[in-house]
């Protein structure tokens, strides 16, 4: 497992554009799901009147998801290419589930943006693309999927129309040509995924899907920074004890390390570390791990806490200053506004204390001091106070823990980065 470089890959895009099917197809084509299992899924899916969902079920293992045909939780699965071993984060596309998607995307090294050829760019395609950029995903493959459903089938003209649409969108949020690759696919039928033979799109001579994701570059691992590991879940396992689970963002963790969880302010010692159910001698950035901690009870810590070295604990903010951009607010943002901030695995309501500067969204230059309000499309520097303890970092020190999305009324209203923190004495 450890002999190939590891990458976390998130699949994003509008609901029903075929993300889960593409994930399932990828797992099947790389040998992670045996033929007979897919056959069983096909039979079961047809019985439920959802024949086209067989591959999606490889990821959607919650019964409720099978009945609704939706992806609810963020699932982790691994597969290998000749070059990498990937952990897939299947991020929900449905509007209610964007907050889960934010958690998934903030852990990704690269993304696959799935856009259905018949529909093209939709509202959530825009929202997910913007979030991916804001949350620091800077390489992606765009799969123009469902090419078998265009009229005529596998229409080159339709592919080019959607490709132009997506390219415009990506450039408008700040992606460069070199950061993305657009390819046609049919996840359902297997066209242009991996296989030679009849599953070709005859006018296409570019890369297949698996070749395309092999082209990703592994980001530099920030191993020289202090440990930062946002907690996703905490388990209490009989005979072992407290086992927090999460992904290492920076630094290295080894058994014997003394660690502190913030803002819980609980300190303990790492006894052992596991990844994909195997014990490992040390964990590095990008590793999704469970680790046993002595001296910390299951109820002492929770999702949203951050684990770091006891002698260099994660920062807890009294207030923080951030650069934000307003994406989609029904009216205007003013002082006193208190929406929920989603950063790493934490979700905390934060109050806007001051709107300090309005910025030009493209150049970052100051346009106005102390504006009265902010509206859609506007960028600003603001001062914010969390309504309860929140561990967050400055983006230039720990970029992974300094980005956030702001949600309210079931939608993402803004996104941003932390530029300064007034620390809280704990």
Q: What is the pLDDT of residue 58?
A: 55
- Quote the pTM value: 0.65
134's torsion region: left (phi>0), alpha (psi -120 to 50) or beta?
Answer: alpha
Q: What is the pLDDT of residue 126?
A: 83
User: Do residues 420 and 353 make contact, with C-beta atoms less than 8 angstroms apart?
Assistant: no
Q: What is the pLDDT of residue 96?
A: 42
The DSSP secondary structure of 136-163, one letter per residue, reads T---EEEEEE-GGGSSSTT-HHHHHHHH
- Helices and strands per DSSP (H, E), number in the chain: 7, 20
Q: Strands of 85-90's sheet, edge to edge?
A: 75-80, 85-90, 6-13, 110-116, 140-145, 180-184
Q: What is the pLDDT of residue 155?
A: 96
Q: What is the pLDDT of residue 115?
A: 96
Q: What is the pLDDT of residue 204?
A: 94
Q: What is the pLDDT of residue 88?
A: 78
Query: Parallel, antiparallel, or unpaired for β 110-116 and 140-145?
Result: parallel
Using the CB atoms, write b or e for 319-357: b if 16+ within 10 Å.
bbbbbbbbbbbeeebeeebebbbbbbbbbbebebeebbb
| Tens of each residue's pLDDT in the chain, 426 residues | 457 888 888 888 887 888 888 888 888 888 887 777 777 777 777 777 765 666 665 555 545 544 554 443 445 577 888 899 888 765 554 444 455 555 555 567 899 999 999 999 987 788 788 777 766 788 999 999 999 999 999 999 999 999 999 999 999 888 999 999 999 999 888 899 886 656 789 899 999 999 999 999 988 888 999 999 999 889 888 888 899 999 899 999 999 999 999 999 999 999 999 887 788 999 998 888 999 999 999 999 999 999 999 999 999 999 999 988 887 788 999 999 999 998 888 999 999 999 999 987 656 688 999 999 998 878 899 999 999 999 999 988 988 788 888 888 887 888 888 999 999 988
User: Do residues 204 and 267 make contact, with C-beta atoms less than 8 angstroms apart?
Assistant: no
Cβ contacts of residue 154 below 8 Å, gap of 6+?
147, 148, 184, 186, 191, 201, 202, 203
Question: Could you identify the residue written with the tokens 């029904």?
Answer: 330
What is the rounded distance in angstroms from the CA atom of residue 240 to the CA atom of residue 271? 10
What is the rounded distance in angstroms from the CA atom of residue 26 to the CA atom of residue 109? 18
Structural domains in the chain, CATH included, are 6-214 (3.40.50.300), 229-309 (2.40.30.10), 317-423 (2.40.30.10)
């Amino acid at each position: 497992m450890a002999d190939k470089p590891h990458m976390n890959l998130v699949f994003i895009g509008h609901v029903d554009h075929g993300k889960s099917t593409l994930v399932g197809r990828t797992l099947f084509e790389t040998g992670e799901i045996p033929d007979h299992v897919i056959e069983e899924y096909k039979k079961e899916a047809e019985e439920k009147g959802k024949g086209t969902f067989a591959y999606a079920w490889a990821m959607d293992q919650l019964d409720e998801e099978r009945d609704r045909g939706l992806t609810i939780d963020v699932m982790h699965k691994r597969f290998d290419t000749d070059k990498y071993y990937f952990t897939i984060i299947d991020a929900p596309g449905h509007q209610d589930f964007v907050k889960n998607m934010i958690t998934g995307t903030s852990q990704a090294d690269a993304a696959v943006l799935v856009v259905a050829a018949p529909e093209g760019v939709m509202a959530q395609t825009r929202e997910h693309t913007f979030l991916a950029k804001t949350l620091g995903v800077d390489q992606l493959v765009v799969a123009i999927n469902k090419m078998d459903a265009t009229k005529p089938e596998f229409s080159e003209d339709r592919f080019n129309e959607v490709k132009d649409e997506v390219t415009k969108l990506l450039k408008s949020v700040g992606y460069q040509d070199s950061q993305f690759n657009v390819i046609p696919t049919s996840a359902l039928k297997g066209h242009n995924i991996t296989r030679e033979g009849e599953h070709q799109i005859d006018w296409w001579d570019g890369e297949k899907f698996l070749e395309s994701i092999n082209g990703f570059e592994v980001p530099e691992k920030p191993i020289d920074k202090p440990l930062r590991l946002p907690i996703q879940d905490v388990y209490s396992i009989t005979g072992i004890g407290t086992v927090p689970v999460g992904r290492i963002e920076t630094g290295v963790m080894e058994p014997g390390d003394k660690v502190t969880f913030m803002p819980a302010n609980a300190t303990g010692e790492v006894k052992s570390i596991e990844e994909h159910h195997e014990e490992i001698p040390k964990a590095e950035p990008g590793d999704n791990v469970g680790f046993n901690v002595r001296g910390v009870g299951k109820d002492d810590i929770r999702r949203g806490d951050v684990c770091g070295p006891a002698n260099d604990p994660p920062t807890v903010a009294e207030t923080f200053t951030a650069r934000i951009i307003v994406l989609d607010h029904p009216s205007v943002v003013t002082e006193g506004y208190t929406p929920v901030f989603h950063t790493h695995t934490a979700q905390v309501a934060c109050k806007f204390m001051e709107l300090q500067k309005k910025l030009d969204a493209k150049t970052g230059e100051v346009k106005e001091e102390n504006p009265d309000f902010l509206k859609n499309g506007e960028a600003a520097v603001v001062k914010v106070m969390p309504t309860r303890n929140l561990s967050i970092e400055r983006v230039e020190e720990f970029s992974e823990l300094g980005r956030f999305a702001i949600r309210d009324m079931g939608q993402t209203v803004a996104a941003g980065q932390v530029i300064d923190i007034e620390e809280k004495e704990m």
